[in-house]
């Protein structure tokens, strides 16, 4: 029979893993979103930028996958239904708006703002080891930096 201390330890572990799984799914969604945006982009410069962002999000997912495995858990293998719906919305918006690079950038900004919020909420949770806190914080900072770059690109394209 499980003691109260063992039960609390397991709940704590499960909570940490669930937060990491959520971030993992968010990165799968972002990577797929950037790949979709690459298909919609008209400019080579923007396409290359989006390709780098997709690769970065793939790298983030790989880091989170490793952290989850290090906790003796099985990482999720795909993104969320919400992410798939967002990409469908991008396709619909493309067909209606004529697929301007500005519209693609607006969707990237919207997605990245959502990611920053998700990372911030996750960082506000207690219980991450200093190592996990640093991994999550570094990824959030990279996303914020990239968000600033996307906003500058939008200003140039617009």
Range in 4-8, 48-52, 90-94, 114-118 the model is least confident about: 90-94
Express each pLDDT in 80-116 by its tens digit: 656 555 544 455 455 445 557 887 888 888 888 989 9
Inter-residue contact 21 to 76 (CB < 8 Å): yes
The model's pTM is 0.84
Inter-residue contact 83 to 110 (CB < 8 Å): no
Burial of 105 (0-12, 13-18, 19+ CB in 10 A): buried
- pLDDT given at position 95: 46
Inter-residue contact 126 to 157 (CB < 8 Å): no
Tracing tokens 């991450």 back to the chain, one arrives at 128
Inter-residue contact 57 to 115 (CB < 8 Å): no
One DSSP character per residue, 19-87 reads HHHHHHHHHHHHHHHHHHHHHH---HHHHHHHHHHHHHHHHHHHHHHHHHHHTT-PPP-S--HHHHHHH
CATH of 4-157, one of 1.20.1260.10, 1.10.579.10, 3.20.20.80, 1.20.58.2240: 1.20.1260.10
- pLDDT given at position 148: 87
- pLDDT given at position 109: 85
Express each pLDDT in 69-90 by its tens digit: 999 999 998 766 565 555 444 5
Count of alpha carbons within 13 Å of 131, Cβ hemisphere only?
7
Express each pLDDT in 17-28 by its tens digit: 999 999 999 999
Show me where the domains of the chain are located.
Answer: 4-157
- pLDDT given at position 99: 58
Helix (H) / strand (E) containing 134: helix 130-157
Pairwise CA distance, residues 147 & 113, whole Å: 7
Residue 6 pLDDT > 70, yes or no?
A: yes
Residue 134 pLDDT > 60, yes or no?
A: yes
- pLDDT given at position 75: 95
């Amino acid at each position: 029979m499980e003691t109260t201390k063992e039960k609390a330890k397991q709940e704590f572990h499960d909570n940490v893993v669930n937060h990491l799984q959520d971030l993992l799914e968010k990165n799968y969604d972002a990577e797929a979103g950037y790949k979709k945006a690459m298909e919609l982009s008209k400019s080579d410069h923007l396409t290359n930028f989006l390709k780098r962002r997709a690769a970065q999000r793939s790298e983030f997912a790989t880091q989170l996958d490793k952290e989850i495995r290090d906790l003796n858990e099985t990482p999720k293998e795909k993104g969320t239904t919400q992410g798939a719906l967002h990409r469908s919305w991008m396709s619909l918006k493309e067909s209606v708006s004529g697929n301007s690079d500005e519209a693609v950038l607006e969707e990237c900004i919207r997605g990245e703002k959502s990611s920053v919020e998700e990372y911030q909420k996750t960082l506000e949770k207690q219980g991450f080891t200093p190592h996990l806190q640093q991994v999550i914080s570094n990824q959030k900072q990279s996303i914020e930096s990239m968000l600033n770059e996307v906003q500058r690109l939008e200003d140039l394209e617009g």
